[in-house]
A and B are shown apart, each in its own frame.
Chain A
Amino acid sequence: MKLLITTGATVTFTRLLRFVLSDPMLSTYITTGFRHVTVQYGNEIKNGVHVSRCAVNEILRSTAAFKHFQVTDDTCSFEYHDKGGSRIVLEFLSFSPDLNSLIRSSDLIISHGGTGTLIDILKLHKKLIVVYNESLMDNHQKQIAEEFARSQFCVSVGSSQLEQDEFTGYLQALRDGKIVLTSYHSPVEHIVQSIVYRELAHARLHHSRAKS
Chain B
Amino acid sequence: MEYETRILVRSLLVVLPLFVIVSRLIFVLPSVNSPVINDRADGAELPSWLSGSNIMIFLGSGGHTGEMMSILSKVNLTQLNRIWVVSSNDSTSILKCKEYEDTLKTNTAPSFISLLRARDVGEPLLSSLKSTIRSFIDTFLKLRQLPQLPDVLLVNGPGTSVPIAYMLFLFRFLGVGNTRIVYIESLARVNDLSLSGKLLLPITDRFIVQWPAVANRYKRAEYYGVLI
Contact = CB atoms under 8 A, between A and B. Distances in A.
Interface string B46-84: 110110010100000011011100110011100010000
Interface in B211-228: 224-228
A188 B92 contact: no
A108 B70 CA distance: 22
A143 B55 CA distance: 33
Contact of B182 (A115, A143, A196, A204): A196
Contacts of A207: 151, 178
B206 A115 contact: no
Chain A, interface residues (CB within 8 Å), range: 35 or more
B42 to A, nearest CB: 6
B33 to A, nearest CB: 13
Contacts of B106: none
B188 A144 contact: yes
A189 B70 CA distance: 12
Interface residues of B, number: 47
Nearest to A113: B188
A188 B41 contact: yes
B182 A199 contact: yes
Interface stretch (A33-41, A55-63, A116-124, A175-183): A116-124
B39 interface: yes
Contact of B63 (A115, A195, A203): A115
Contacts, number: 122
B62 A192 contact: no
Interface in A6-64: 9-10
Contact of A199 (B66, B152, B224): B152
Contacts of B154: 196
Contacts of A117: 66
Nearest to A190: B43
Contact of A144 (B40, B75, B179, B190): B190
A203 B150 CA distance: 9
Nearest to B151: A203
Contact of B224 (A115, A140, A188): A188
A116 B67 contact: yes
B227 A192 contact: yes
Nearest to B228: A119
Contacts of A190: 41-43, 74
B62 A186 contact: no
Interface in A128-181: 140-141, 143-144, 147
Nearest to A9: B62
B66 A195 contact: no
B97 to A, nearest CB: 12
Nearest to B121: A10
Nearest to A208: B49
A189 to B, nearest CB: 6
A119 B191 CA distance: 19
Contacts of A114: 63
Contacts of B70: 116, 119-120, 123
Interface of B: 39-44, 46-47, 49-50, 53, 55, 62-63, 65-67, 70-71, 74-76, 80, 92, 95, 151-152, 154, 178-180, 182, 184, 186-191, 205-206, 208, 224-228
25 contacts: A97-B95, A114-B63, A119-B70, A120-B70, A140-B191, A147-B190, A186-B227, A186-B228, A189-B41, A189-B43, A190-B41, A190-B43, A191-B227, A193-B41, A194-B39, A194-B41, A195-B206, A197-B44, A197-B46, A199-B151, A202-B180, A203-B53, A203-B152, A204-B53, A207-B178
Interface of A: 9-10, 97, 114-117, 119-120, 123, 140-141, 143-144, 147, 186-204, 206-207, 210
Given A195-B208, A200-B55, 12 more contacts: A114-B63, A116-B62, A116-B70, A187-B226, A190-B41, A190-B42, A194-B41, A195-B182, A196-B182, A199-B206, A201-B47, A202-B205
